[in-house]
C-alpha cells in the first residue's frame, strides 16, 4: 500500500460517517473487492480479516477504515464501488450524499 493519504475531502466523508460505517459494514464482505482493485495489498487483506475473525466485526471495520486513510489515488471511489457490488447500496449512498453536503458546507 502506498504511504500516501486519501484526499482530505474523501476522508472527511468517511470520518463524518465513522460510527455509521462501524455499525453497518462487515469488512470481510468487501476486502476481496478492495484487494482485487489494488486499494489494499495482501498483507492488509490478511490483517483486516484476522482482526475481524479474532476481535469481531466492528474491529474489522475499524482497521479497514484506518487502512483506507493511507490509500491514495481513486481509493475512495473504488471503496464506493466495492460497497455497491456487495449490496451495501445505502452505505454507498450515504457516503455519496456526504460528498454533496461537504461541497455545500453542511458538514
Residue pLDDT, tens place only, 15-52: 999 999 999 999 999 999 999 999 999 999 999 999 99
What residue spans define the domains of the chain? 8-104
Give the number of C-alpha atoms closer than 13 A to the C-alpha of residue 53, restricted to the C-beta side. 6
Residue closest to 96 by CA, chosen among 77, 69, 82: 77
Residue closest to 79 by CA, chosen among 104, 67, 97: 67
Give the model's pLDDT for residue 101: 54
Is the pLDDT assigned to residue 55 strictly greater than 80?
yes
Do 13 and 98 meet the contact criterion of CB atoms below 8 Å apart?
yes
Q: Which CATH number fits domain 8-104: 1.20.1440.230, 3.30.70.60, 1.10.533.10, 1.25.40.10?
A: 1.10.533.10
Give the model's pLDDT for residue 98: 83
- In this prediction the pTM is 0.86
- Take residue 9 and report the three cell numbers written for it: 475531502
Is the pLDDT assigned to residue 1 strictly greater than 80?
no
Is the pLDDT assigned to residue 103 strictly greater than 60?
no
- Cα-Cα-Cα-Cα torsion 19, 21, 26, 28, nearest 10 degrees, comes to -120
Give the model's pLDDT for residue 99: 59
Is the pLDDT assigned to residue 68 strictly greater than 70?
yes
Give 105 or 44, the one with higher predicted confidence.
Answer: 44
> Could you tell me which residues come within 8 angstroms of residue 98 by beta carbon, excluding any fewer than 6 positions away?
12, 13, 16, 17, 107
Amino acid at each position: 500500500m502506498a504511504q500516501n493519504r486519501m484526499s482530505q475531502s474523501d476522508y472527511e466523508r468517511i470520518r463524518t460517517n465513522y460510527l455509521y460505517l462501524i455499525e453497518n459494514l462487515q469488512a470481510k464482505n468487501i476486502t476481496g473487492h478492495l484487494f482485487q482493485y489494488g486499494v489494499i495489498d495482501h498483507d492488509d487483506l490478511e490483517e483486516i480479516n484476522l482482526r475481524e475473525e479474532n476481535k469481531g466485526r466492528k474491529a474489522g471495520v475499524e482497521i479497514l477504515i484506518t487502512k483506507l486513510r493511507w490509500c491514495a489515488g481513486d481509493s475512495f471511489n473504488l471503496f464506493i464501488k466495492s460497497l455497491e457490488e456487495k449490496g451495501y447500496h445505502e452505505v454507498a449512498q450515504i457516503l455519496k450524499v456526504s460528498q454533496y453536503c461537504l461541497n455545500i458546507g453542511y458538514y
